[in-house]
Amino acid sequence: MTFADRDPRIGEVLLTPDRIAARIGEMGAEITEDYRDRPPLLVCVLKGAYVFLTDLARRIDLSVDIDFIAVSSYGNSTRTSGVVRLIKDLDVDIADRHVLLVEDIVDSGLTLRYLRRNLQARGPASLSVATFLARSSADLGALDVRYVGFTIPDEAWVVGYGLDHAQELRNLPYVARYARP
């Protein structure tokens, strides 16, 4: 029995490891085709997207560069503070680069709008977004999200596969509802 089997905070499994792997394979193939003549710089939004980035990068059949950026709008809460703070900036210059921003989840769009403005101001040749999850209410068209792994219900707070609650439960190999104890 694993800790996940004993942890009352882990609820219904929404996305199994096999389903996640299959969808990321599809996304990787699509990104490979779209970026065939212009290998992207993958910018991972820490901490939540690190697992997704790792698997996605291995499924993109191109030489890619990777960098990391970290922002915070939640802290240890399940509700956004409404303020986005830059915690860690990029290490590389993105001017004239084809940038693919890799996000864990798009909900209200607050963080994504902040990141798009911040990165666009640096003069990339192009800027697209790939997200592992999107809330069903997220306006993906207005937010210009090009690649979406899965859509989840608005009311579901989820953990696993990089997503956390108070920095815990990121290491689950699946996505589950967070069941508040």
Single-letter amino acid, residue 29: A
Supply φ then ψ for residue 128, to 5 degrees: -125, 165
The answer to whether the CB of 104 falls within 8 A of the CB of 45 is: yes
Residue 32 scores a pLDDT above 70? yes
Single-letter amino acid, residue 32: T
Match 């990029």 to its residue by tokens. 90
DSSP code of residue 40: P
Residue 121 scores a pLDDT above 90? yes
- Out of 107, 144, 154, 164, which one is annotated catalytic? 107
In the prediction, which pLDDT does 65 show?
A: 98
Portion of the chain with pLDDT greater than 70, in percent: 94
> Is 107 known to be catalytic?
yes
pLDDT for 59-113, tens place per residue?
A: 999 999 999 999 987 555 455 557 889 999 999 999 999 999 999 999 989 999 9
Closest CA to 135 of 78, 67, 88: 78
Spans of all domains in the chain = 17-155
In the prediction, which pLDDT does 74 show?
A: 58
Higher pLDDT, 121 or 3: 121
Residue 156 scores a pLDDT above 70? yes
In the prediction, which pLDDT does 81 show?
A: 54
In the prediction, which pLDDT does 79 show?
A: 53
Q: How far is CA 93 from CA 47, 90, 125, 165, in A?
A: 21, 8, 12, 32
Residue 162 scores a pLDDT above 90? yes
pLDDT category of residue 181 using cuts at 50, 70 and 90: low
In the prediction, which pLDDT does 2 show?
A: 79
CATH number assigned to the domain covering 17-155: 3.40.50.2020
Instruction: Provide the strand spans (E) within the chain.
Output: 10-15, 41-46, 65-72, 85-88, 98-106, 126-135, 147-152, 158-159, 175-178
- What is the C-alpha to C-alpha distance for residues 43 and 51, in angstroms, rounded to an integer? 13
For residues 6-11, give the mean pLDDT.
91
